[in-house]
Amino acid sequence: MAVIDSAREFAPDYAVPPGETLVELIEERNMSQAELARRTDLSAKHINQIAKGHAPISNDVALRFERVTGVPARLWLNLENRYQERLARLVDDGALERDLHLLDELPIPAMVRMGLLTKYAKPVDRLREVLSLLGVANRSAWVEMLRGLQVSFRMSKSLAPDLAATAIWLRLGEIEEAVIACEPWDRKAFRKTLSDIRSLTRVTDPRVWQPQLGDLCAASGVAMVAVPEVPGARTHGAARWMTPHRGLIQLSIRHKWSDIFWFSFFHEAKHLLDETKRSIFLSGKANDSPEERQADRFAQNFLIPPDRAVELPGLRTHDDVLAFAWSIGVHPGIVVGRLQHERIWPYSRGNDLRQRLRFETRMDA
């Protein structure tokens, strides 16, 4: 992912009032402040306050300066705006100094390695960069956002996620989702298109099925994004509603196995089909809620129908798996993943039939 550009150029630790430019200009013209006051019909005190940066250059004053000096009003206003912005940034720097401990609460080195942050930055500039990435104004807003996360987890057992890392991962999904064009949500269309998506599990090249997956989802109102894992998040996927008419399925490439990816996709799809629009369903943490169990069953049964799953204990060889997978129309790795999950086969067996995922994300661009 390309590094998110900083909003700041070089900024000294002082602010130059536009009054200094005014003083230089009238001195070059051998004009006193008193003379400028008479010509602009302003008080000498007002001119002196502007010269010292104690009074702003208003629209009216800028127009008066334009008529007297010949310097366009927009230039005076630009100088004033830049001065006020610099003053605000100096105040902001002080506030950010008090929030620097936020940097110790986030996986900054990992975020730099992922290209989310610039490699080198002063602490205050680093914090400003982090806040821009997170889409919040300050640490207080970030903490409040963490408190407001309503999550329902499905995760690799016993590993509790880091909430901050998880929130960063979710934020990356929001950034990716924002550039995807989608039709309005259509539950019936999405449910129907899942069968077409299921057939993509047999396509081995992600460069072929990845864009097809995105297009099929978008056609029924779902943005589908793949986001690299943020260390500490330990997340397989998430489902949520960005608007009442636009769903988001966000998947991680945490384990880099295609069968886990596809299981997570159909798991999250079930959450969208349920249309619970006020919650974020996050796959990851051990959570035995009814919603998570239902989503698991949906994904299991959609990939391997229950009437065929009874045949799983009888699969003894690789050829058995290949034939069975072909007969139900899924990749053999999905069958192996199910066999391993149900302890019919040990986790060391059949991995040569599973597919390592080589998934390109927009962050790789």
- pLDDT mean over 132-142: 93
> For position 150, what pLDDT does the model report?
44
- Give yes or no: residues 174 and 270 share one domain: yes
Domains identified in the chain, total number: 3
**Which position has the higher pLDDT, 197 or 149?**
197
Residue 358, domain member (yes or no): no
Residue 173, domain member (yes or no): yes
Q: What is the pLDDT of residues 202-247, one digit of tens each?
A: 998 888 999 999 999 999 999 999 998 888 887 888 999 999 999 9
Host H or E run for residue 297:
helix 290-303
- Give yes or no: residues 45 and 163 share one domain: no
- Give yes or no: residues 139 and 185 share one domain: no
Own/partner long-range contacts of 198-204 (Cβ < 8 Å, ≥24 apart): 198/266, 198/302, 198/303, 198/329, 198/330, 199/329, 201/258, 201/262, 201/303, 201/330, 201/331, 201/334, 202/329, 202/330, 202/331, 204/331, 204/355
Lowest mean pLDDT among 52-66, 82-96, 266-280: 266-280
Q: What is the pLDDT of residues 30-54, one digit of tens each?
A: 999 999 999 999 999 999 999 999 9
Beta-carbon neighbour count of residue 260 at 10 Å? Answer: 23
Of the three residues 262, 282, 302, the one that is the final residue of a domain is: 302
Residue 106, domain member (yes or no): yes
- Give yes or no: residues 117 and 71 share one domain: no
> For position 289, what pLDDT does the model report?
72
Across-strand partners of 225?
250
Residue 353, domain member (yes or no): no
> For position 43, what pLDDT does the model report?
97
**Which position has the higher pLDDT, 357 or 158?**
357
Residue 343, domain member (yes or no): no
- Give yes or no: residues 59 and 198 share one domain: no
Residue 239, domain member (yes or no): yes
Do residues 52 and 19 lie in contact, with contact meaning Cβ atoms separated by under 8 Å?
A: yes
The span from the CA of 217 to the CA of 183, in Å, is: 9
Q: With cut-offs at 50, 70 and 90, classify the pLDDT of residue 283.
A: confident
- Give yes or no: residues 233 and 155 share one domain: yes
CATH of the domain at 92: 1.10.260.40
- Give yes or no: residues 158 and 262 share one domain: yes
Q: Supply the range of the domain harboring residue 140.
A: 100-148
Residue 291, domain member (yes or no): yes
- Give yes or no: residues 162 and 286 share one domain: yes
Q: Phi and psi at residue 282, in whole multiples of 5°?
A: -120, 120
Annotate 82-118 with b (16+ C-beta within 10 A) or e (fewer).
Answer: ebeebeebeeebeebeebeebeeebbbebbbebebbe
Host H or E run for residue 249:
strand 246-252
Task: Kindly state the percentage of the chain with pLDDT values over 90.
Answer: 73
- Give yes or no: residues 85 and 111 share one domain: no
Q: What is the pLDDT of residues 305-320, one digit of tens each?
A: 999 999 999 999 999 9
In 80-176, at which residue ranges do the beta strands (DSSP E only) sit? Answer: 151-153
Tokens 């310097």 appear where? 71
Of the three residues 302, 323, 358, the one that is the final residue of a domain is: 302
Tokens 């830049």 appear where? 82
The span from the CA of 76 to the CA of 81, in Å, is: 9
Residue 138, domain member (yes or no): yes
- pLDDT mean over 80-105: 93
- Give yes or no: residues 191 and 278 share one domain: yes
Of the three residues 148, 181, 213, the one that is the final residue of a domain is: 148
- Give yes or no: residues 124 and 177 share one domain: no
Beta-carbon neighbour count of residue 306 at 10 Å? Answer: 9
- Give yes or no: residues 142 and 32 share one domain: no
